[in-house]
Amino acid sequence: MTDVYWLEQTESDVSAEDSWLSASEMVRLNSLYVPKRRADWRLGRWTLKRAAAAYLDLPADLCTLAAAEIRTAPSGAPEVFLHDRPAGIVVSLTHRSGTAACAVASANTELGCDLEAVEPRSDTFIADFFTTAEQSLIAQAPAADRPWFTALLWSAKESALKALHAGLRLDTRWVQVHLDEIISTPLCAVESGNWHPLRVSGPDSRLFHGWWVYKGDLVRTLVAAPAPSYPIALKLAALDESHCASVPPCQENR
C-alpha cells in the first residue's frame, strides 16, 4: 500500500497577499478577469502549495510557497516544482463550492481525487454517463439517498479518470465504480466523517482502490495505484506571513 495525504482549504484560508505566487503564476492570475475564476484559481494554487509544503516538511512562509511552483503537465494534471526542479511528488487537485482539496503521494503513484456537490441528477444524465451496473445500483438506492449516492459514483469516476490522466476526454462509462456494501448503509452513518473503501475498474483490466467520505453536502473521493492506505490528514503549521525563510532542498519523500 502507499500513503496518501489529504488537505482541504476554503477561500477564507487563502492569504490576501499574492507574494506566495511565483512570477509565472502571477502572469496567469493577471490574465483572469472574472472574479470567480480568479478566486477559484487562487484557492486551488494555495491548497496545492500548502499541501506540498506540509508533505515535504518545508517552512510555512510565503517565500517557500512562492518557490513551490505549480505547473500543468501535457495531460492537464498539476505538477509541483521547487526552484525549477520537479519536487518528486504526485498531487491531485479538486475544488467545488468554495472548497478545494489536494491529495499528495510519493512519486510513481497514480493518483486522483474529486469533490462533488450533492444535487439532483436527471435520468438522462445517469443514462448517458453511468454503466449499466452503476445505473442498477442507483435504481436500488432509496429515493431519498439517490442524489448523494449518484454524486458518490460520479466523484469516484472523476477521481479514476484523473488518475488515468484522461479527465473527461475519456468516456465515463469506461470506468466502473464498485460499492457492493453501500446500499445497506444508512445516510446518517456515512455522514460521520469516516472514510469508506471503494474500487474503480478501468480499461485494460486496470483497477484502482480508493476511499470516499460524505460531509457537509460534499462527497470526497480519492483513488490510487498502488492501493492507498487510509487517507492521512496533513497538519499545517501556522503560516508566517512576515518572514521569508530559506527553502531547503527537496527532502526524501516519506
pLDDT digits (tens, 9 = 90+) for 219-240: 999 999 999 999 999 999 999 8
Looking only at the bridges linking them, the beta strands covering 218-225 and 89-96 are: unpaired
Half-sphere exposure (Cβ direction) of 52: Cα atoms closer than 13 Å:
29
What is residue 187's predicted lDDT score, i.e. its pLDDT? 56
Per-residue pLDDT band at 253 (split at 50, 70, 90): very low
CB neighbour burial string for 9-26, b if at least 16 within 10 angstroms, e if fewer: beeeebeeeeebbbeebe
pLDDT digits (tens, 9 = 90+) for 8-53: 999 999 999 999 999 999 999 999 999 999 999 999 999 999 999 9
What is residue 212's predicted lDDT score, i.e. its pLDDT? 94
Q: What is the pTM of this model?
A: 0.89
How many other CB atoms are found less than 10 A from the CB of residue 96? Answer: 17
Per-residue pLDDT band at 251 (split at 50, 70, 90): very low
Domains within the chain, CATH numbers bracketed: 5-109 (3.90.470.20), 118-210 (no CATH)
What is residue 125's predicted lDDT score, i.e. its pLDDT? 95
Residue 123 has pLDDT above 60, yes or no: yes
**Average pLDDT rounded to a whole number, residues 124-133:** 95
What is residue 75's predicted lDDT score, i.e. its pLDDT? 84
Determine contact, residues 116/96, Cβ cutoff 8 Å.
Answer: yes
Which residues on adjacent β-strands are paired with residue 81? 69, 86
Rounded CA separation 55/253 (Å): 8
CB neighbour burial string for 33-72, b if at least 16 within 10 angstroms, e if fewer: eeeeeeebbbbbbbbbbbbbbbbbebbbbbebbbbbbbee
What is residue 68's predicted lDDT score, i.e. its pLDDT? 95
Determine contact, residues 177/153, Cβ cutoff 8 Å.
Answer: yes
Q: Lowest mean pLDDT: which of 47-51, 200-204, 208-212?
A: 200-204
- The number of helix segments (H) and strand segments (E) in the chain equals 7, 12
Residue 247 has pLDDT above 90, yes or no: no
Rounded CA separation 152/130 (Å): 12
What is residue 206's predicted lDDT score, i.e. its pLDDT? 87
pLDDT digits (tens, 9 = 90+) for 141-184: 888 889 989 999 999 999 999 999 876 567 889 999 998 665 55
Which residues on adjacent β-strands are paired with residue 96? 99
Rounded CA separation 168/205 (Å): 19
Which residues on adjacent β-strands are paired with residue 254? none
What's the burial of 109, exposed, middle or buried (CB within 10 Å: 0-12/13-18/19+)? buried
Average pLDDT, rounded, for the chain: 89
